[in-house]
Amino acid sequence: MKNFTTLTIDMTKKEKLFASQGGPIIIALIENENGNVQSYYGDAGKAYMNRCSNFAQSLYIGVPWIMCQQSDAPQPMISTCNGWYCDNFKPYNDNSLKMWTENWTGWFKSWDDKDHLGLLRILPSLLQGSSRLEALSRTITCIMVEQALVEHQLHTFPQLMIMMLLLMNMVT
């Protein structure tokens, strides 16, 4: 993980893609959804999460780092919520941002399975209290995710994440 991440970050810095360099990348992810499995590894799982955090910070990229589904992410990592509903999500640290990185409006389905869509119908109530910009950003992202799932325009998660990051950059 360290070699791959270092190579990726070095290439990204060389191309000046981070927002701190004038580029479009406004946030970076280190260790996706480790919190879902960390408890199986006990103290070693917690130590790994801390090593990831320290390593990410040592790369000095000039944009915030996030850890998705890592409820105990150490500062300055931003712990995020992924899921159908994140309105009750609270960051581990009071000084951290509240961030919803996967706003599920649907899900991939198996052959002959029911459609897993419908969150768009209740999305306005979930967004109450958000700023207009936040609401617009989430709504655009949700609509694009639903289109990708329904129309099969995107077939891989990385393509979907790239589209979401591009949308976030356009809106902000």
Residues labelled catalytic: 33, 102
Between CA 71 and CA 99 the distance in angstroms is 12
92/59 Cα distance (integer angstroms): 23
How many angstroms separate the CA atoms of 139 and 121, rounded? 11
CB-neighbour burial class of residue 145 (10 A; exposed 0-12, middle 13-18, buried 19+)? buried
Interior CA angle at 108 toward 70 and 91, to 5°? 20
Q: Where are the beta strands (DSSP E) in 10-162?
A: 28-29, 65-68, 78-83, 99-103
